[in-house]
Protein backbone atom coordinates (compact mmCIF):
# COMPACT_ATOMS: atom_id res chain seq x y z
CA UNK A 1 0.00 0.00 0.00
CA UNK A 2 3.01 2.27 0.35
CA UNK A 3 4.10 1.95 -3.28
CA UNK A 4 7.71 1.08 -2.52
CA UNK A 5 7.99 -0.35 -6.01
CA UNK A 6 8.28 3.25 -7.11
CA UNK A 7 11.95 4.23 -7.33
CA UNK A 8 10.94 7.88 -7.01
CA UNK A 9 9.17 7.35 -3.68
CA UNK A 10 11.99 5.19 -2.34
CA UNK A 11 14.56 7.82 -3.35
CA UNK A 12 12.48 10.52 -1.64
CA UNK A 13 12.31 8.46 1.56
CA UNK A 14 16.05 7.72 1.64
CA UNK A 15 17.02 11.30 0.81
CA UNK A 16 14.66 12.71 3.39
CA UNK A 17 15.95 10.41 6.14
CA UNK A 18 19.53 11.34 5.29
CA UNK A 19 18.66 15.04 5.61
CA UNK A 20 16.59 14.52 8.76
CA UNK A 21 19.35 12.50 10.42
CA UNK A 22 21.84 15.23 9.54
CA UNK A 23 19.63 17.85 11.20
CA UNK A 24 19.35 15.73 14.35
CA UNK A 25 23.08 15.12 14.42
CA UNK A 26 23.98 18.78 14.16
CA UNK A 27 21.25 20.23 16.40
CA UNK A 28 20.20 17.37 18.70
CA UNK A 29 16.57 17.40 17.51
CA UNK A 30 14.37 17.92 14.49
CA UNK A 31 14.57 14.56 12.72
CA UNK A 32 10.87 13.75 13.05
CA UNK A 33 9.87 17.33 12.24
CA UNK A 34 11.91 17.42 9.04
CA UNK A 35 11.02 13.91 7.91
CA UNK A 36 7.27 14.27 8.52
CA UNK A 37 7.24 17.71 6.90
CA UNK A 38 8.95 16.55 3.70
CA UNK A 39 7.42 13.08 3.38
CA UNK A 40 3.88 14.37 3.92
CA UNK A 41 4.26 16.26 0.64
CA UNK A 42 4.60 12.96 -1.28
CA UNK A 43 2.51 10.56 0.86
CA UNK A 44 -0.22 10.58 3.55
CA UNK A 45 1.07 11.47 7.06
CA UNK A 46 0.16 8.04 8.48
CA UNK A 47 2.41 6.35 5.91
CA UNK A 48 5.25 8.74 6.67
CA UNK A 49 4.87 8.15 10.41
CA UNK A 50 5.00 4.37 9.89
CA UNK A 51 8.22 4.61 7.87
CA UNK A 52 9.83 6.62 10.66
CA UNK A 53 9.13 4.09 13.44
CA UNK A 54 12.49 2.29 13.38
CA UNK A 55 14.76 5.31 12.66
CA UNK A 56 13.00 7.39 15.32
CA UNK A 57 13.08 4.62 17.93
CA UNK A 58 16.77 3.83 17.47
CA UNK A 59 18.02 7.43 17.35
CA UNK A 60 15.86 8.50 20.30
CA UNK A 61 16.98 5.54 22.45
CA UNK A 62 20.57 6.45 21.56
CA UNK A 63 19.92 9.99 22.77
CA UNK A 64 18.09 8.80 25.89
CA UNK A 65 20.70 6.42 27.23
CA UNK A 66 23.79 8.55 26.61
CA UNK A 67 22.82 11.04 29.35
CA UNK A 68 23.64 10.99 33.07
CA UNK A 69 20.22 11.25 34.74
CA UNK A 70 17.85 8.63 33.34
CA UNK A 71 16.35 7.55 36.69
CA UNK A 72 15.95 11.08 38.02
CA UNK A 73 14.25 12.26 34.84
CA UNK A 74 11.84 9.33 34.80
CA UNK A 75 10.82 10.08 38.40
CA UNK A 76 10.39 13.76 37.59
CA UNK A 77 8.57 13.41 34.25
CA UNK A 78 6.62 10.15 34.56
CA UNK A 79 3.22 11.90 34.64
CA UNK A 80 4.08 13.76 31.43
CA UNK A 81 5.11 10.50 29.76
CA UNK A 82 1.86 8.74 30.74
CA UNK A 83 -0.16 11.70 29.44
CA UNK A 84 1.76 11.62 26.14
CA UNK A 85 0.64 8.02 25.62
CA UNK A 86 -2.99 8.78 26.43
CA UNK A 87 -3.06 11.86 24.21
CA UNK A 88 -1.39 10.05 21.32
CA UNK A 89 -3.94 7.24 21.32
CA UNK A 90 -6.85 9.68 21.54
CA UNK A 91 -5.50 11.92 18.79
CA UNK A 92 -4.51 9.18 16.38
CA UNK A 93 -7.80 9.24 14.46
CA UNK A 94 -6.80 12.41 12.60
CA UNK A 95 -3.66 10.76 11.23
CA UNK A 96 -5.32 7.72 9.70
CA UNK A 97 -7.89 6.90 7.06
CA UNK A 98 -10.11 9.58 5.56
CA UNK A 99 -8.65 12.28 7.82
CA UNK A 100 -5.28 12.34 6.05
CA UNK A 101 -5.85 15.82 4.54
CA UNK A 102 -6.82 17.24 7.94
CA UNK A 103 -3.75 15.62 9.50
CA UNK A 104 -1.50 17.17 6.85
CA UNK A 105 -3.07 20.60 7.47
CA UNK A 106 -2.50 20.30 11.24
CA UNK A 107 1.05 19.09 10.59
CA UNK A 108 1.77 22.18 8.50
CA UNK A 109 0.41 24.43 11.25
CA UNK A 110 2.59 22.67 13.85
CA UNK A 111 5.67 23.12 11.64
CA UNK A 112 4.94 26.83 11.28
CA UNK A 113 4.47 27.22 15.06
CA UNK A 114 7.64 25.26 15.81
CA UNK A 115 9.66 27.38 13.38
CA UNK A 116 8.26 30.70 14.63
CA UNK A 117 8.96 29.84 18.28
CA UNK A 118 12.55 29.06 17.36
CA UNK A 119 13.06 32.14 15.18
CA UNK A 120 11.72 34.61 17.74
CA UNK A 121 13.64 32.78 20.50
CA UNK A 122 10.73 32.62 22.90
CA UNK A 123 11.91 31.63 26.38
CA UNK A 124 9.65 30.28 29.09
CA UNK A 125 10.31 29.44 32.74
CA UNK A 126 8.27 26.95 34.75
CA UNK A 127 8.32 27.34 38.57
CA UNK A 128 9.02 23.94 40.24
CA UNK A 129 5.78 24.11 42.26
CA UNK A 130 3.72 24.11 39.05
CA UNK A 131 5.31 21.05 37.47
CA UNK A 132 3.01 18.56 39.20
CA UNK A 133 -0.03 19.72 37.21
CA UNK A 134 1.59 21.35 34.17
CA UNK A 135 3.66 18.30 33.15
CA UNK A 136 0.64 16.04 32.47
CA UNK A 137 -1.19 18.87 30.68
CA UNK A 138 1.80 19.47 28.39
CA UNK A 139 2.19 15.73 27.90
CA UNK A 140 -1.46 15.30 26.93
CA UNK A 141 -1.39 18.16 24.39
CA UNK A 142 1.89 16.83 22.97
CA UNK A 143 0.28 13.41 22.67
CA UNK A 144 -2.78 14.77 20.87
CA UNK A 145 -0.55 16.51 18.32
CA UNK A 146 1.64 13.41 18.03
CA UNK A 147 -1.39 11.27 17.28
CA UNK A 148 -2.79 13.80 14.81
CA UNK A 149 0.41 14.76 12.97
CA UNK A 150 3.21 12.30 13.78
CA UNK A 151 5.32 15.20 15.14
CA UNK A 152 6.05 15.27 18.88
CA UNK A 153 7.96 18.54 19.29
CA UNK A 154 5.13 20.88 20.38
CA UNK A 155 4.67 21.80 23.19
CA UNK A 156 7.10 19.27 24.73
CA UNK A 157 10.33 20.90 23.50
CA UNK A 158 9.57 24.46 24.75
CA UNK A 159 8.29 23.03 28.05
CA UNK A 160 11.37 20.89 28.72
CA UNK A 161 13.54 23.89 27.81
CA UNK A 162 11.64 25.87 30.46
CA UNK A 163 12.43 23.48 33.32
CA UNK A 164 15.94 24.85 33.85
CA UNK A 165 17.67 21.52 33.21
CA UNK A 166 21.39 21.31 32.57
CA UNK A 167 22.53 20.79 28.98
CA UNK A 168 23.05 17.03 29.27
CA UNK A 169 19.84 16.56 31.24
CA UNK A 170 17.90 18.57 28.68
CA UNK A 171 19.18 16.45 25.79
CA UNK A 172 18.32 13.30 27.75
CA UNK A 173 14.86 14.57 28.72
CA UNK A 174 14.16 15.26 25.03
CA UNK A 175 15.28 11.72 24.27
CA UNK A 176 12.88 10.39 26.91
CA UNK A 177 9.93 12.40 25.58
CA UNK A 178 10.69 11.50 21.96
CA UNK A 179 11.12 7.80 22.78
CA UNK A 180 7.80 7.55 24.63
CA UNK A 181 6.04 9.48 21.85
CA UNK A 182 7.53 7.19 19.19
CA UNK A 183 6.56 4.01 21.05
CA UNK A 184 3.01 5.25 21.71
CA UNK A 185 2.56 6.23 18.06
CA UNK A 186 4.07 2.94 16.89
CA UNK A 187 1.57 0.97 18.97
CA UNK A 188 -1.32 2.97 17.50
CA UNK A 189 -0.02 2.39 13.96
CA UNK A 190 0.37 -1.33 14.62
CA UNK A 191 -3.14 -1.69 16.08
CA UNK A 192 -4.59 0.15 13.06
CA UNK A 193 -2.75 -2.19 10.69
CA UNK A 194 -0.52 0.59 9.33
CA UNK A 195 2.73 -1.06 10.46
CA UNK A 196 2.80 -4.50 8.89
CA UNK A 197 5.76 -6.56 7.72
CA UNK A 198 6.25 -4.67 4.45
CA UNK A 199 6.27 -1.31 6.19
CA UNK A 200 8.51 -2.63 8.98
CA UNK A 201 11.04 -3.70 6.35
CA UNK A 202 10.96 -0.27 4.72
CA UNK A 203 11.30 1.39 8.11
CA UNK A 204 14.32 -0.79 8.91
CA UNK A 205 15.84 0.15 5.55
CA UNK A 206 15.26 3.83 6.36
CA UNK A 207 17.43 3.45 9.47
CA UNK A 208 20.61 3.36 7.37
CA UNK A 209 20.36 6.86 5.81
CA UNK A 210 19.06 8.25 9.12
CA UNK A 211 22.12 6.98 11.01
CA UNK A 212 24.52 8.06 8.25
CA UNK A 213 22.96 11.52 8.30
CA UNK A 214 23.13 11.68 12.10
CA UNK A 215 26.82 10.73 12.14
CA UNK A 216 27.55 13.29 9.42
CA UNK A 217 25.67 15.95 11.42
CA UNK A 218 27.64 15.15 14.56
CA UNK A 219 30.88 15.45 12.56
CA UNK A 220 29.76 18.75 11.05
CA UNK A 221 28.56 20.16 14.41
CA UNK A 222 32.08 21.11 15.49
CA UNK A 223 32.93 22.65 12.12
CA UNK A 224 30.05 25.04 11.47
CA UNK A 225 28.04 27.55 13.46
CA UNK A 226 25.20 25.57 15.02
CA UNK A 227 23.23 28.80 15.54
CA UNK A 228 23.55 29.81 11.89
CA UNK A 229 22.54 26.36 10.71
CA UNK A 230 19.57 26.31 13.09
CA UNK A 231 18.32 29.66 11.77
CA UNK A 232 18.51 28.39 8.18
CA UNK A 233 16.79 25.17 9.22
CA UNK A 234 13.93 27.06 10.90
CA UNK A 235 13.36 29.32 7.88
CA UNK A 236 13.18 26.28 5.63
CA UNK A 237 10.80 24.60 8.05
CA UNK A 238 8.59 27.70 8.13
CA UNK A 239 8.33 27.69 4.33
CA UNK A 240 7.63 23.96 4.25
CA UNK A 241 4.93 24.28 6.91
CA UNK A 242 3.28 27.20 5.12
CA UNK A 243 3.25 25.24 1.85
CA UNK A 244 1.70 22.21 3.61
CA UNK A 245 -1.02 24.38 5.20
CA UNK A 246 -1.91 26.05 1.90
CA UNK A 247 -1.90 22.76 0.00
CA UNK A 248 -4.34 21.21 2.48
CA UNK A 249 -6.72 24.13 2.99
CA UNK A 250 -10.40 23.13 2.79
CA UNK A 251 -11.51 23.32 -0.83
CA UNK A 252 -7.96 23.26 -2.18
CA UNK A 253 -7.54 20.57 -4.85
pLDDT tens readout for residues 151-188: 888 889 889 988 988 877 888 998 899 999 999 999 99
* Residue 225 falls inside a structural domain: yes
| Residues 14, 12: Cα–Cα separation, whole Å | 6
Q: Name the residue range of residue 125's domain.
A: 7-247
More reliable by pLDDT, 69 or 253: 69
More reliable by pLDDT, 230 or 23: 23
Q: Which residues contact 155 (CB under 8 A, 6 or more apart)?
A: 138, 141, 142
* Residue 142 falls inside a structural domain: yes
* Residue 24 falls inside a structural domain: yes
Is the distance from CB of 148 to CB of 94 less than 8 angstroms? Answer: yes
Is the distance from CB of 107 to CB of 52 less than 8 angstroms? Answer: no
pTM as predicted: 0.83
Average pLDDT, the chain: 85
* Residue 2 falls inside a structural domain: no
* Residue 1 falls inside a structural domain: no
* Residue 253 falls inside a structural domain: no
* Residue 215 falls inside a structural domain: yes
Q: Which of 31-35, 41-45, 58-62, 109-113 has the lowest mean pLDDT?
A: 41-45
| Residues 205, 199: Cα–Cα separation, whole Å | 10
Distance of CA 141 to the CA centre of its chain: 14
> Cα-flanking dihedrals φ and ψ of residue 4, to 5°?
-75, -5
* Residue 252 falls inside a structural domain: no
What is the number of domains present in the chain? 1
Per residue in 39-55, pLDDT (tens digit) is: 888 888 888 999 999 99
| pLDDT at residue number 2 | 47
Residue 152's SS3 state is coil
Q: Which of 69-73, 155-159, 228-232 has the lowest mean pLDDT?
A: 228-232
Is the distance from CB of 49 to CB of 150 less than 8 angstroms? Answer: yes
Amino acid sequence: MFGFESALVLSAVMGTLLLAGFVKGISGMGMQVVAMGVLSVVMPPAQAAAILVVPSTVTNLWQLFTGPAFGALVRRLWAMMVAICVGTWLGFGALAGSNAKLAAFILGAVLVLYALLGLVKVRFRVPPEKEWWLSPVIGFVTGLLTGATGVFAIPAVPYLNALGLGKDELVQSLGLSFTISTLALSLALFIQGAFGMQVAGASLLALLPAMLGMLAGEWMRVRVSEQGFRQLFLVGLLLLGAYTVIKNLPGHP
